[in-house]
Amino acid sequence: MRLPKGSKKLLNAWAFYDWANSVYSLVISSAIFPIYFAALFADNNQIQFLGYSIKNTAMISFVTATAFVFVAFMSPLLSGIADYIGNKKRFMKFFVYLGSISCVGLYWFDLDSIFIGFGFYFLALIGLWSSLVFYNSYLPDIAYPEQQGSASARGFSMGYIGSVLLLLVNLAMVMNPSMFGIPGEGGAASMQAMKYSFVMVGIWWAVFSQIPFYYLPKGTHDRKVSKAILWNGFKELRQVWYQLQNLSNLKRFLPAFFMYSTALQTVMLIAAYFGEEEIAWANNDEKTIGLIVSILLIQLVAVVGAQITAYTANRIGDIQTLIIINMIWAGLCVYAYYVTTPVQFYIAAGSVGMVMGGMQALSRATYSKMLPETEDTTSFFSFYDVTEKIGIIIGMSLFGIIDQITGSMRNSILFFLILFIAGGLLLTQVPQFKNRFRKH
């Protein structure tokens, strides 16, 4: 169905993809899957791979890092395609179905087929992040510049509401399997409920994606993919790299962003695994409820934290606020190193929520303000996204190595501490910060 650009129905249909895919980020990445994964290895946390014995949490870190290697390589390639082809919807559909089917495949993630399970986990990550390349590229096609901010915010809100709703249903299933007709007793029934949750995520993702698929246009051009277009995204990244030499604010900001983003993104991906393994829960039921409540707490507080961060940035400046947030994160790392009880973990979760969402939003906004007015902002944001993904690769890899060598995720927190301090110090070298500091 063809709707005019700027149409309210078209913008809502586009934003509805956030409702469709955000359940993966909350249920799979942050909440239910980490609990299931840890329970699977409750008796033996070692995985035999290529003749080596690897700790389970280190293994999931390495698999995640490898997936992001593919994503980091494919994103510029897919961006180049998205800019030129006439039917980007076909590419988006492919990755949506790849991701949703892989989520359903996680139902068979168990010790007897562990590497098949890792394969589904890997492909689900690829499906999500690759589909987002095409999803994001639709925004300038369907919304006028003055509408893009509100449309993006609407998508974020819809994603939050949808993912929380499904997570609450999944939590009820895990805590009271019999009420949902799930056979078995005790932990076995709860584990089965978690496997059903993965299937529900896959179905939810695929079914609700039909709304944007129905209304979104096929594309804006009628062109075929050629070899030159295929590598266009990488050429754009190279051009941005050369332009940075003459953009002093960006040249100094990006290394700082890379440092603290590496720590931030890694913390977000491993938080639930840390809470499962390092916190002294009274029993499995308390652990399951506690971890999911912590994730929900982070989500709720992050909304408030983002508002406080935006207010502070307007009062004292973006870079100054980011420096303060980095120092708060460094303090949280020290605190988290000594966290052992559920109450302490809840305090840590609430504190993380206060600075997590605000840091992400302010970083992107700060970067956007530094962009030259006459340049193509799409290329610069592609560079920003690739920088963020490379940070995830390095962060998850180093986290896995430290976890594997020392046998404890707690030691990796010291690595995050160093990155946040380094990020804060590098921010003080941004000319924008220095100039404002001299004025005061």
pLDDT tens figures, 375-430: 455 677 778 778 888 888 998 898 889 888 888 888 888 888 999 999 999 999 88
Q: What is the mean pLDDT of the chain?
A: 84
CA distances from 65 to 58, 60, 113, 130, 307 (A): 11, 9, 21, 15, 31
- Of 128-132, 152-156, 163-167, 195-199, which range is least confident? 152-156
The model's pTM: 0.81
Q: How far is it, in rounded angstroms, from Cα 225 to Cα 433?
A: 43
**Domain ranges in the chain with CATH number 1.20.1250.20:** 1-230, 231-440
Q: What angle do CA 154, 160, 163 make, to 5 degrees?
A: 135
Q: What is the pLDDT of residue 440?
A: 42
Does residue 24 have a pLDDT over 90? yes
Which SS3 state, helix, strand or coil, does residue 109 take? coil
Lookup: tokens for 246: 């003459």
Residues sharing a CB contact under 8 Å with residue 121, sequence separation 6 or more, in sequence order: 33, 60, 63, 67, 102, 106, 109
The predicted pLDDT at position 420 comes to 94
Banded pLDDT at 222 (limits 50, 70, 90): low
CA 101 to chain centre: 20
DSSP one-letter string for 305-347: HHHHHHHHHHHH-HHHHHHHHHHHHHHHHHHHHT--SHHHHHH
CB 154 within 8 A of CB 29: no
DSSP code at position 52: E
Class of domain 231-440: mainly alpha
Return the CA Rg of the chain: 22
Answer for the pair 174, 197: CB distance below 8 angstroms, yes or no: yes
Look at 80 and 340; give whichever has higher pLDDT: 340
- Please give the pLDDT value at position 120: 96
pLDDT of 375 reads 47
Q: Quick check: 195 pLDDT over 80?
A: yes
Among 203-212, 243-252, 263-272, the range of highest mean pLDDT: 203-212
pLDDT digits (tens, 9 = 90+) for 354-382: 888 778 778 877 877 787 765 455 677 77
> Class of the 1-230 domain?
mainly alpha
